[in-house]
Structure 1
Amino acid sequence: MTAAAGTAGQPGPATAAEPPEGPGLRSATRLALVVGALGIVFGDIGTSPIYALQTVFNPADPHPVPVQEASIYGVISLMFWSMTIIVTVTYVLLAMRVDNDGEGGIMALITLLHRWKQGRGRTTALALAALGIFGASLFLGDSMITPAISVLSAVEGIGVVEPHLEGLVVPVTAVIIVVLFTVQRRGTAAVGRAFGPVMIVWFCVLALLGIRGISGHPEILKALSPVYAADFLFGHFHIAFFALAAIVLCVTGAEALYADMGHFGRPAITKAWLILVFPACLLNYMGQGAMVLEDGAAVSGPFFLLAPGWARLPLLLLATCATVIAAQAVITGAYSVAAQASRLGYLPRLRIDHTSAEQYGQIYVPWINWLLMVSVLTLVFAFRSSHALAYAYGMAVMGTIAIMTLLFLYIAKHRWNLPVWVVAAGGALLLGFDLLFLAANFTKLVHGAWLPLLIGVAAFTVMVTWQKGRAIVTAERERREGPLRACVKQLRAELPKTKCVPGTAVFLNRGKLTTPLALRANMEHNHVRHQQIVIASIETKPVPRIADDERISEDFLGFADDGIVYVQVRFGYMEVQDVPRALALLDRTRHGGRLHVEDATYFLSTIQLRPGAQPTMAKWRKHLFIATSRITADAADHFRLPRERTIIMGSQIEV
């Protein structure tokens, strides 16, 4: 992993990036995290009021919901209880207490499942992990749909304010999306600082508009009672069931809360949701409901119509800013999912830039960023309106949420040693609620819900194919490499009859158990060895920086006089992984003054893949695996190796 900032390459104490002591500074740091979370995490769920209620009562829906008092009270009540059960209870109060070293999201849960593969329940853990990978794949689909629908929904407000400018909606949306993805490389911390104040204003405006609407029809407050939700759901099930496919839009972004936990931490996200985001969204939904109760025609654009005429243009501009920020929540979540998938072996090694010395999870993944941008622009030009994307959106969200809930229940039972009846009772409520929404979205398959399923299946196929192919290649590679200590013994025994050339050779390796392929190729084919051989492996520690006196550890592999040494090089996650500079810290006196890393030759072992005749995978999967391997980050650039002194020695492996 590489760091984004140039100063990150300068070594320093591991604690250098920690916030200074003192209650005042700690409070300021916590406040900054809350503001940053508002700018990054809550944009998605915080902009749902723009389009959620309007979509529920959309007259063009194949199963329209009548604009009647009972249905209005029922819909608002269902929105309130959906946010309470799915967001507040499932995610904020429960799921965010289960993390993997501070990181959240489906991939974090899959990591925990992988740790239990060898014990009891191995088959169950494997099956749930596979299901979790599909959930993560759906989240990637969500990451493509969210920016498109969020920005489109706001820019469509032009049609309310200035109807003759409606033709500008798609091109303006495209320009905004290009700018959004272009600034991602600045990092989530910088983006959050810029977006946070805007979102504070946004949520305050949501609350004020909601209060304005409620004041005109305060009876809407009765919708807080679960009686109205239950009466609508069970008393008018033939209408309510189909309405759930649109009501789910009020919780879109809940899955991003959990996936973004590594960026800001659980306390900051929890405080922001309970203190500001939840109350503001609820007030706005109730204000819209109150206005529709008074005037059923307002259902055509209840959010913008809540504002007085003079405020609608400023509201349109603010909504556009907020929906740009909404896209940020799932974009940063996609970075986290991709990074965790890469570490788990479901994706190749990607270039990952860490953009914060305080928060390990704040990252930028260039390849994912540009893939998302192209995908989002494609959706904007293909669907051209938020209504056309609404049902695709709901399917992506509920598929991810339902799978996450199932994984959480399984892990919570094992981690907290909960009785079966407690998990069953809680799961019946939480999972039952999720599955009801999911079933409603399946009724919209032909109306767009097929899209996230298609994206999910495609991403799932890529990830499981990479995992399978990687296992095949690793097994063959380890067989060819052989044990490192045995190789060193062989080198020492053959030293009298092997040509020894002056200088230092550095072989990068994955660890000290197996032999670098490049070293073995030198032995077997070139019959030469360098006077000094350094076998180096790289380890990234979960701290910003590593002090120089802790960066290097040596192991002579049982022989101190044969010119061969194994070196483990440690970097903090914020540091540029400059291997030549790190190796310069080696003590030459321990090597008889013969070790000269400043002019060392670096050897990289690469694998050339080609489809083979062995029935390891289907032929099309072999070609997919080989194609996916081409996005792997370049190792020479990654480790700052001098190109003029870097030799790449390849080995061909069939899959």
Structure 2
Amino acid sequence: MTATTTDSTDNQHGAADGHAPRHPALAALTVGAIGVVFGDIGTSPLYAFREALSQSAADGIDPSEILGVLSLALWTLFLVVTVKYVIFLMRADNQGEGGVLALAALARRSLGIRSRLALILGAAGASLFYGDAIITPALSVLSAMEGLRTIPAAASIFDEGLIRLCTIVILIGLFLIQSRGTAQVSKLFGPICILWFFVIGGLGIWHIADEPSIARVIWPGYGISFLATHGVTGLFVLGAVFLTVTGAEALTADMGHFGRLPIRIGWFSLVLPALMLNYLGQGAFALSALERAAASGQTFTNQDWFFLMAPESFRPALIVLAGMATVIAAQAVITGAFSLTQQAIQLGFLPRLRVRQTSADFQGQIYLPAINWLLLFGVLVLVIQFKTSSAMAAAYGIAVTGTMVVTTCLAYLVVRHRWGWGRPLALAAILPFLALDLIFFGANILRVIEGGWVPLLVGAAVGLIIYTWVRGRGIVSAFEKRQAIPLADLAAALAKRPPERVPGTAVFLTANPASAPGALLHNLKHNKVLHAQNLIMTIRTADRPVVQPEYRAHVERLDDNFATVVLTYGFMETPDVPRDLPRDLGVEQRQMGLDPMKTSFFIGRNTLKPEAEKGMPLWQDRLFMFLQRNASDPTDFLRIPPGKVLELGEQVTV
């Protein structure tokens, strides 16, 4: 039980770290990946082409604009998702895990003492993700419900208000079931999404047959010509075109659940072909509609091309299927928010929050009540405030492009410092991706007034919380260090003049095992006793997702009275101190067994006092105190039975 956590755990992650799983497992993982990873990007055809085309519709739409928008959409899919994420960024994983915080942890490990940049980028990416997390459920479900207006018999019944009401009911139901877990219903995600991709691909093929020449937009010259001739309008279109790749971040964020091979197989074999066929079909359908309008002398208007592609008799079934697909996409984002929050808590970005396991079989199935209700509140505000998916679409791109810029910057740090590439090679690999991300980010920034301020506001609020929490904890930690006494000195003093001893084991939790915990000092000062056995315990978070059980505990014996125990967890794991507490502590030739029934846990809990002249500004002091008060009880977070905990502390000025 004296093993330390080392990089040898990096290669013990099975299929997730790139090793190919067996064929039956590969098929199951691929189906699961299609149901979870591609839910968001798979529902983009509901609104992406329509919104991109509407940006150039101010002075009418001609065939070259349809071809240009379509070409930009296809090449965005190819460059951003296929080349950047599937081919390149999926190689930059942290023990199989991806996503912005996993990359930040990997970059921090590579940079060592210079890791502040990776820390800042990780916090920025996490902050922007929450903006994405409230927009995705609102936009996707609302756009599916708007398909009801394309049914002539229902158009007069389902006005804008009723569609919003249906959307709100579905979203409330979705968030209400989160506490029950999604292990059972998630088994349907894969088959439903596979059916979805076959249906949208089939609709695309059906309309491509009406206008086979639409395939010429695969030549990038149409998109380049459109941008060259449309000036600022072209940038607005480019910002809307980016809606075709919303959800691309999930390809790396969910690597730990499925592995990169199943995700790549799902993308190339089904998802990419289905998306390309559907966008081509929408373009062909729009061209045919434009030709018919011109022939009849009518005005051509931008419409809900996705649903209108389907025959009227099939449209109700398509709306139901779209509703299920968008709920799955929303579920994937909600689950991602839970997972990201757990990582942020473990990495010290956020205060402890209550985390509940909703599945006995899968550790990743978690539920965070506070995040769930905050997301629901944000989603409902968006639906009520923006009213339509078109109004909401302007807010979507900024959150996604901002996260992508952060991810690309972190990827450079990994490529340069983890993979050991020279600066010229690393820049040559990353700069084209960064330039592409910045172009899209700049195009979306133009839409700040239309709604892009929403994710920026959410990101800024989360960023402020992260900054306040990290800085406040730093102040408290500095105070504790100033008051600290080296544990070795205290142990030597107590050996010479031992206090009264009481039977049992005392476990003192502290951030620094080299110093005597404040709770220990207070116990000696006020109770004037020392337990028969005393463990100075520290909980640490590794910069890897999972730490194998054999590397969990590191024990060092100081003398007959004291031992230090360091429990190390991955940033995807939930601590469980009673379970992982070592039962045997070696002392020379004898073993001292720990009896859980005779073990007490001592936790330091300081009282915070705001002061304008010291530390943070007064308003930030109060925010930090609010976060501290509302943080989950450490006994709950560490799975310690409440009846075995004593809390001791003092007043700290922040």
Query: Where in structure 2 are the equivalents of 1:226-625 lying within 5 Å?
Result: 226-296=220-290, 297=300, 299-353=302-356, 363-495=366-498, 498-510=499-511, 512-538=513-539, 546=549, 554-557=555-558, 559-560=559-560, 562=561, 564-568=562-566, 579-580=577-578, 585-586=583-584, 596-625=595-624
> Counterpart amino acid of 1:527?
K
- What are the superposed Cα offsets for residues 175-201 of structure 1, whole Å, 9 maximum, x if unpaired? 222232233356576554221110000
- Partners of 2:176 and 2:28 in 1: how far apart? 24
**What's the CA shift for 1:627?**
1.6
Q: What pairs up with 1:100-249 in 2 under 5 angstroms?
A: 100-118=94-112, 122=114, 126-127=116-117, 129-161=119-151, 162-163=154-155, 164-166=157-159, 167-185=161-179, 190=184, 192-249=186-243
Paired residues of 1:17 and 1:358 also in contact (CA < 8 A): no
Do the aligned partners of 2:20 and 2:261 also contact (CA within 8 Å) in 1? no
1:342 alignment partner AA: I
SS in 2 for 1:535: strand
SS in 1 for 2:22: helix
Look up the match of 1:98.
92
SS in 1 for 2:649: strand
- CA shift in 2, pair 1:54/1:18, >3 Å: closer
Aligned residue for 2:209, secondary structure, equals: helix
CA distance in 1, matches of 2:346, 2:253: 16
**1:29-64 C-alpha deviation (Å, 9 max, x unpaired):** 222221121111111110000111111233xx5973
Question: What is residue 75 of structure 1 aligned with on the other side?
Answer: 69
CA–CA distance in structure 2, aligned partners of residues 116 and 290 of structure 1:
49
Deviates more, 1:174-183 or 1:456-465: 174-183
Q: CA deviation at 1:349?
A: 2.8
Residue 198 and residue 118 in structure 1: after superposition, are their counterparts in 2 closer, same or farther (change >3 A)?
Answer: closer
1:54 corresponds to 2:54: no
Q: Which moved more, 1:158-167 or 1:641-650?
A: 641-650
- Cα gap change, 1:191 to 1:265, in 2 (>3 Å): farther
Shift in alpha-carbon separation, 1:422–1:65, aligned structure 2, 3 A = farther
Instruction: State the 1:292 CA deviation.
Output: 0.4
- Partner of 1:299, secondary structure, is coil
Structure 1 residues 594 and 504, CA gap change in structure 2 (3 angstroms): same
Q: Which 10-residue stretch deviates more, 89-98 or 356-365?
A: 356-365
Q: Is the 8 A contact 1:354 1:573 kept in 2?
A: no
Shift in alpha-carbon separation, 1:619–1:89, aligned structure 2, 3 A: same
Q: CA deviation at 1:137?
A: 1.1
Q: Matched residues in 1 for 2:592 and 2:282: separation?
A: 78
Work out the CA distance in 1 between the residues paired with 2:123 and 2:217: 38
Aligned amino acid, residue 30 of structure 1: L
Q: Which residue of 1 aligns with 2:295?
A: none
Query: Could you tell me how far 1:391 is from its partner in structure 2?
Result: 0.5
Q: How many pairs align?
A: 625
Q: CA deviation at 1:566?
A: 3.7
Alpha-carbon distance change, 570 to 439 in structure 1, aligned in 2, over 3 angstroms: closer
Following the alignment from structure 2 to structure 1, what is the Cα–Cα distance between the partners of residues 203 and 449? 36
Does the CA-based 8 Å contact 1:17-1:357 persist in structure 2?
A: no
Letter in 2 for 1:32: A
- Residue 7 of structure 1 corresponds to which residue in structure 2? none
Give the SS at the match of 1:101. Answer: coil
Matches within 5 A, 1:26-45: 26-45=22-41
Q: Distance between the aligned counterparts of 2:593 and 2:316, measured in 1?
A: 73
Give the secondary-structure state (helix, strand or coil) at the position aligned to 1:530.
strand
- 2:583 is paired with a residue of what secondary structure? coil
Structure 1 residues 642 and 339: CA distance shift in structure 2, 3 A: closer
Instruction: Write the distance in 2 (CA, Å) between the matches of 1:466 and 1:362.
Output: 26
Equivalent position SS for 1:216: coil
State the identity as a percent. 43
Cα deviations by residue, 1:91-118 (Å, 9 ceiling, x for unpaired):
1111111122222122223223323555
Deviation at 1:482, TM superposition (A): 2.6
Residues 120-165 of structure 1, C-alpha deviations (whole Å, 9 max, x = no match): xx4xx64464244223211110111111101100011111121112
Q: Which runs of 5 or more residues in structure 2 are unaligned?
A: 1-10, 291-299
Q: Distance in 2 between matches of 1:317 and 1:439?
A: 36
Number of the residue aligned with 1:635: 634
Counterpart of 1:506 in 2: which secondary structure?
strand
Q: Give the AA of the match of 1:445.
A: V
**Pair 258,546 (structure 1): closer, same or farther in 2 beyond 3 Å:** closer
Please say if residues 357 and 574 of structure 1, whose CA atoms lie closer than 8 Å, have aligned partners that are also in contact.
Answer: no
Aligned partners of 1:73 and 1:220 also within 8 Å:
yes
Deviations 1:294-321 (A, max 9, x none): 1035731100011111100000000000
The CA deviation at 1:339 is 2.6
User: How far, CA to CA, are the matches of 1:97 and 1:482 in structure 2?
Assistant: 46
The TM-score normalised by the length of structure 1 is 0.87
Aligned-residue offset at 1:355 = 6.5
1: CA distance, partners of 2:572 / 2:454: 37
Structure 2: which amino acid aligns with 1:46?
A: G
Q: Could you list the runs of 5+ residues in structure 1 that have no partner in the other structure? A: 1-14
- Tell me: CA distance 1:572–1:230, structure 2 relative to 1, closer, same or farther (3 Å): closer
Give the alignment of 1:7-22 within 5 angstroms: none
One-letter code of the match for 2:450? H
Query: For residues 249-276 of structure 1, what are the alpha-carbon distances to aligned partners after superposition, in whole Å with 9 as ceiling and x for unaligned?
Result: 1011112222222232222222211111
Return the offset for 1:474.
1.3
Per the alignment, in what secondary structure is the counterpart of residue 603 of structure 2?
strand
Q: Quick one: which amino acid aligns to residue 95 of structure 1?
A: L
Q: Is the 8 A contact 1:360 1:573 kept in 2?
A: no
1:619–1:310 Cα change, 3 Å: same
**Residues 554 and 566 in structure 1, CA contact (< 8 A), matched pair in contact too:** yes
Distance in 2 between the 1:396 and 1:575 partners? 27
Contact 1:481 1:520 in 2 (8 A): no
How far, CA to CA, are the matches of 1:459 and 1:477 in structure 2? 27
From the superposition, tell whether residues 511 and 263 of structure 1 become closer, same or farther in structure 2 (CA, over 3 Å). farther
- C-alpha deviation, 1:393, in angstroms: 0.5
Question: Equivalent residue for 1:12?
Answer: none
Distance, in Å, in 2 between the alignment partners of 1:130 and 1:379 is 28
Of 245-254 and 645-654, deviating more is 645-654
CA distance in 2, matches of 1:592, 1:127: 46
Is the Cα–Cα contact under 8 Å of residues 201 and 274 in structure 2 kept in the other structure? yes
Q: What is the rounded CA distance, in whole Å, between the counterparts of 2:280 and 2:33 in structure 1?
A: 25
CA distance in 1, matches of 2:401, 2:572: 35
Using the TM superposition, name which of 615-624 and 527-536 deviates more: 527-536
2:47 & 2:340 partners in 1: Cα distance? 27
Measured after TM superposition, the shift of residue 591 of structure 1 is 7.8
Q: What is the alpha-carbon distance in structure 1 between the residues aligned to residue 305 and residue 491 of structure 2?
A: 75
Q: 2:396 is matched by which residue type in structure 1?
A: Y
2: CA distance between counterparts of 1:429 and 1:572? 33
